[in-house]
Amino acid sequence: MITDCAADICKQHVGESWVKRFRKRHQDLKVHWTTGLEQCRAQALNPTTVNGYFQMLGELIEKYSILPQNTWNMDEKGVQPGIGERIAAFVDRDAKVIYQVENGNRELVTIIEAVCADGRALHPSVIYQGQCRDLEWGRNNPCKASISYSPKGWTDQDLGFKWLERDFEPATRPTYDGYRLLILDGHNSHCTYRFCKFAADHKIIIICLPSHTTHVLQPCDVGVFGPLAKCWKAEVNAASAQLIPITKHNLLIYYDNARRRSLKSSTIQAAFAKTGIWPFNPNAIPAVAFAPSLLTTTKSALPLGAVYP
């Protein structure tokens, strides 16, 4: 592709070694592998949508005098107890296949995490797959997670409300009569009348991020879940290497290890800063992030913007 572009600019054919010579002449450039981006995300992350979101965010922070210690982001992540991370190993040159032991447990466990702009992390809420609660699930619970269950291990509207009422509100209640800000995505478990009314009654301001922009605007996605996932997979690998299966009965032990290694105060604060939430910075998103949206319209057919119930 690059030789085609060069030939088009020069209006003449370029040789096979042109790229090599070009790189040698321009030492300030480097080759970087591209990262896939869904078309809906490319179109949604445009200046119009993002500017509207930051305008609303800034107005709410100012109007309700919201402090960093009362600014939260919540999101769900899925983990599989038996799936770790591939590792590299030195082996004999003639080796064809190298196996890594896994226990093969692919059952989905949903974990709700909430992080604060001041660097704190709320205790997690774990949703196991099941038809009823097994008391053994919480027997070893060093991270003090709240435990729920659903038929498929997914969150739903009822569990979303229970998280807000049972976990978030009591644990984050300010010592003074102030407001809290809770930033989350537009999943239907967060957008019920019951959820929003409870939040309003308890001075919790909710902002739903614009559709398909969480990869850039949500602290959990931008800087928190990546390190957490890496540490979790390392825990799975270590357990598998010792032939210890991770099950519902011991999962919280290994997940707590991953949380302690990854959910550092500095990591959480950096994620809020990178997304422009705190310190508030409407210019935090670099212009290059909007480049994919320039190939499509950003004004005549906008996606749903940020929502304030």
What's the pLDDT tens digit per position in 230-278?
A: 999 999 999 988 989 999 999 999 999 999 999 999 999 999 999 999 9
The pLDDT of residue 101 is above 60: no
The pLDDT score that the predictor gives to residue 221 is: 97
- Are residues 11 and 75 both part of a single domain? no
Residue 46 CA to residue 200 CA, distance in Å, equals 30
pLDDT category at 8 given cuts 50, 70, 90 is low
Type of residue at 103: N
- Are residues 142 and 215 both part of a single domain? yes
Decide if 123 is inside a domain. Answer: yes
Rounded to 10°, the helix 225-241/251-262 angle is: 130
The pLDDT of residue 39 is above 80: no
- Are residues 18 and 138 both part of a single domain? no
Domain of residue 67: give its range.
Answer: 46-90+98-295
Q: What is the residue-averaged pLDDT of the chain?
A: 84
- Are residues 64 and 177 both part of a single domain? yes
Contact 189, 227 (CB under 8 A): no
Strand ranges of the sheet holding 180-184, from the earlier edge strand across to the other edge: 146-150, 125-129, 109-116, 71-79, 180-184, 204-208
- Are residues 123 and 58 both part of a single domain? yes
HEC readout, 209-237: CCCCCHHHHCHHHHHHHHHHHHHHHHHHH
93 contacts: CB under 8 Å, gap ≥ 6:
none
CB atoms near residue 28 (< 10 Å)? 4
CATH number assigned to the domain comprising residue 118? 3.30.420.10
Residue 301 CA to residue 46 CA, distance in Å, equals 11
What's the pLDDT tens digit per position in 130-153?
A: 999 888 898 999 999 999 999 999
Domain count, the chain: 2
Decide if 26 is inside a domain. Answer: yes
Contact 149, 128 (CB under 8 A): yes
Contact 119, 266 (CB under 8 A): yes
- Cα angle 69, 280, 163 (rounded to 5 degrees) comes to 45
What's the pLDDT tens digit per position in 202-217?
A: 999 999 999 889 999 9
Residue position matching structure tokens 């902002």 = 207
What letter does residue 109 receive in the DSSP assignment?
E
Residue 233 CA to residue 227 CA, distance in Å, equals 10
pTM: 0.78
Q: Which helix (H) or strand (E) holds 58?
A: helix 47-63
The pLDDT score that the predictor gives to residue 1 is: 59
- Are residues 111 and 191 both part of a single domain? yes
- Are residues 6 and 115 both part of a single domain? no
The more confident residue out of 30 and 17 is: 17
The pLDDT score that the predictor gives to residue 71 is: 98
Decide if 41 is inside a domain. Answer: no
145 contacts: CB under 8 Å, gap ≥ 6:
111, 123, 124, 125, 126, 138, 252, 255
Span 74-90, average pLDDT: 68
The pLDDT score that the predictor gives to residue 296 is: 60
The pLDDT score that the predictor gives to residue 116 is: 98
- Looking at the chain, the whole-number percentage of residues with pLDDT higher than 90 is 59
Residue position matching structure tokens 């500095």 = 266
The pLDDT of residue 220 is above 80: yes
Contact 293, 45 (CB under 8 A): yes
The pLDDT score that the predictor gives to residue 110 is: 96
Decide if 159 is inside a domain. Answer: yes
* Tokens found for residue 214: 């969480």
Chain centroid to CA 179 = 24
Closest residue by Cα to residue 155 from 182, 195, 209, 98: 195
- Are residues 108 and 217 both part of a single domain? yes
